[in-house]
Amino acid sequence: MLVYSGIKTDFLHSVEEDTIAEEIKQTILEKMGRKTPHNEFVSWENSLKNMYIVMNDPQIPDDSGVAIEYNIPQTSKRVDFIVTGYNGTGVPSAVIIELKQWEKLKAISGVDALVETYTGNAMRQVVHPSYQAWSYAQLIKDYNSTVQDMSVKIDPCAYLHNYLRVDNDPIDSEWYDDYLKDAPAFTKGQNKQLREYIKKHIVKGDNKKVLYYVDQGKIRPSKSLQNSIAKMLQGNTEFIMIDEQKVVYEEIIRLSELCQKDGLKRTVICKGGPGTGKTVIAVNLLAELTQRNQLVQYVSKNSAPRQVYLRKLKGIMKKSSIDNMFKGSGNYTEAPNNMAGTLIVDEAHRLNAKSGMFHNLGENQIKEIIHASLCSVFFIDEEQRVTMDDIGSVDQIKRWAREEDSEVYEMELVSQFRCNGSNGYLAWLDDVLQIRETANTDLDDIDFDIRICDTPSEVRNLIVERNRTTNRARMLAGYCWNWDKSQANNTNHHDIKIGDFEMSWNLNNGEPFAVAETSVNEIGCIHTSQGLEFDYVGVIIGEDIRYEDGEVITDFTKRAKTDNSLKGIKSMYKMNPEEAQKRADEIIRNTYRTLLTRGMKGCYIYCVDPELEKYFKDRIKK
């Protein structure tokens, strides 16, 4: 949607008359029903005066198109400034400019495309402006049918008009080379360079025709995008569907396609325990529905699965295209109704009510996802809710589906494909952790390598040995040891210490814990392992769970102070001790149930509590 559109002379006149910000404000109110915050209004006035200086060049065609606050169709993303026309060979072209008022930034190593700067009244980690401009350009290229069919050339850049660049500036750090190459960043005093960039791509005016092409383009994934996601699955045995997985997959395809035909909302709830194939189906749905010309996105609260897919697709697709397909659950707070054909939510039990760093955005993630899609698919296991903020439940999904007039379909996956296909191991584990009583009191006839080790070093040795051939064995632990953020990239700093045993929590070095070659030397937690699977896992059970007087007891006071999973539990305990104990107990048991079911072939366990170790050993012998 075009919030402000005109030709260059219109834009220059509005700035000269000092009406440009007011025009944008009124249009947003009329078209989007949204009031503009004062700080956003001021930012338009400041940034657009700088763009006036840039555009006030006779060699930039007077009839070139200008768009401000362009809302990319079917998304909540807005491009700050666009100039359109034709390049030197007559090809329709658009220059996308991301405007920033930043004065300083700090480069961040070990993570991809992030910087730290003062914005929103605080220092925050945000994406590099060149990456942001590049990702918006890629989103338009990947999903706009007119851009694809007419071969509209889109060239992104960033303009930080308050930012004084210096030698060896952090904005130019080597970590951002790929993005700066495709989307150069212009800073204070570089008006001339930005003008030259625009003039290089816009040689002849278009009287807004190219703007119209871009704005009216239908949403359709490009062939290159379709082929790339399909290529990830080809020959990859981990994405092959078996038995009931295929049945569920085909039914969801049918319902999703029906939504696109009759325009009615449908919500699918698919229940399934660990290893029943929820993620396998989700990724296959993403690939197939994308090939059927739908705008489809894989959604998860936990970033760990998305990081793994980014790694798998590296070299096949541009990172920005991957990011546009794999989204965090907080991305839909302002999304328009039926923005997407289908949204596929993995690990739906991890959804939160509010979004954002401070949990102050939006109303409810479940509602927003259903609102934003014709077909919403939720893969859920209520026994994997592991933080105080996890609100994903079947009842909640049904509630919000009713509010959004979405018809609900329920499915269930029962067969176990993890833990060597042993449903018996999961039932035994539930019985042992006293989550629920089952008939599986022993491990007889269960083909699964489970061992209770006497020391954490014994667990580590087994995992290192198992990891040698396939890089699919990992150490995991309950969150009972503090994580020192200042040492997040230091492999020599050991957070977890048990006697003479020492290891680090997984490092924040930009590599996904599940696939990085060095991860066998680190210990993962619930946040870096949930939703993923390995061949073998070694699990250290901390002091937050113990065995006494015939009972498995949980103790939330033994959790690390740096663990946010139980944030707010102490305040709750003061007001309602019984409810707080119940919530904490559920979260701790669910956490260990999840960690102990990440292995497909085996699990090696060390218990900090000697009585719990003895109890586990006795249960294995029965």
Q: What pTM does this model have?
A: 0.82
Q: Are residues 63 and 185 in the same domain?
A: yes
Q: Are residues 188 and 53 in the same domain?
A: yes
Provide the token pair at 471: 């890089």
CA separation for the pair 527, 430 (Å, rounded): 21
| 377, burial (CB in 10 Å: exposed 0-12, middle 13-18, buried 19+) | buried
Structural domain boundaries enclosing 191: 4-216
Per DSSP, helices labelled H in 576-609 are 577-595
* R_g (Cα) of the chain, nearest Å: 27
Q: Are residues 268 and 407 in the same domain?
A: yes
* Of the residues 372, 398, 413, the one at which a domain ends: 413
Domain with 514 in it: what CATH number?
Answer: 3.40.50
* CA-wise closest residue to 604 among 558, 547, 560, 541: 541
* Of the residues 160, 186, 216, the one at which a domain ends: 216
Strand ranges, E, within 496-610: 496-498, 501-505, 522-524, 534-541, 545-548, 551-554, 599-607
| 91 CB-near residues (< 8 Å, 6+ apart) | 151, 152, 153
| 347, burial (CB in 10 Å: exposed 0-12, middle 13-18, buried 19+) | buried
CA separation for the pair 339, 205 (Å, rounded): 32
**Residue 549, pLDDT score:** 94
CA separation for the pair 540, 561 (Å, rounded): 18
Give the CA distances from residue 142 to residues 253, 316, 331, in Å, rounded to whole numbers and listed in that order: 22, 14, 18
* CA-wise closest residue to 375 among 251, 260, 286: 260
Q: Are residues 189 and 89 in the same domain?
A: yes
Q: Are residues 409 and 459 in the same domain?
A: no
Q: Which residues of the chain have pLDDT under 50?
A: none
Provide the token pair at 565: 């999973």
* DSSP secondary structure code for residue 606 in this structure: E
The answer to whether residues 24 and 166 touch, using CB atoms and an 8 Å cutoff, is no
Q: Are residues 265 and 134 in the same domain?
A: no
Helix axes 191-201 and 38-55, enclosed angle (nearest 10): 70
The answer to whether residues 299 and 369 touch, using CB atoms and an 8 Å cutoff, is yes
Task: Label residues 300-315 b or e (16+ Cβ within 10 Å = b).
Answer: bbbebbbbbbbebbee
Q: How many Cβ atoms are within 10 Å of 360's Cβ, its own excluded?
A: 8
**Residue 535, pLDDT score:** 93
* Of the residues 216, 245, 278, the one at which a domain ends: 216
> 3-class SS at 290?
helix
Instruction: State the amino acid at position 321 in one-letter form.
Output: S
Q: Are residues 71 and 209 in the same domain?
A: yes
Q: Are residues 432 and 499 in the same domain?
A: yes
**Residue 508, pLDDT score:** 76
Q: Are residues 337 and 391 in the same domain?
A: yes
Q: Are residues 360 and 278 in the same domain?
A: yes
* DSSP secondary structure code for residue 219 in this structure: B
Q: Are residues 62 and 153 in the same domain?
A: yes
**How does DSSP assign 415-438, residue by residue?**
---SGGG-HHHHHHHHHHTTSS--
**How does DSSP assign 376-412, residue by residue?**
EEEEE-GGG--STT----HHHHHHHHHHTT-EEEEEE
Q: How many domains does the chain have?
A: 3
Q: How many Cβ atoms are within 10 Å of 614's Cβ, its own excluded?
A: 13
**Residue 421, pLDDT score:** 55
What are the tens digits of pLDDT across the range 533-580? 899 999 999 999 999 999 999 999 999 999 999 999 999 999 999 999
* DSSP secondary structure code for residue 321 in this structure: H
With the C-alpha atoms ordered 562, 585, 365, 319, is the resulting torsion angle positive or negative? positive
**Residue 150, pLDDT score:** 93
CA separation for the pair 7, 43 (Å, rounded): 22
Phi-psi region of 387 (alpha: psi -120 to 50; beta: other; left: phi over 0): beta
Give the chain's largest Cα–Cα span: 87
* CA-wise closest residue to 191 among 16, 47, 63, 87: 47
Q: Are residues 512 and 585 in the same domain?
A: yes
Domain with 144 in it: what CATH number?
Answer: 3.40.1350.10
Domain with 238 in it: what CATH number?
Answer: 3.40.50.300
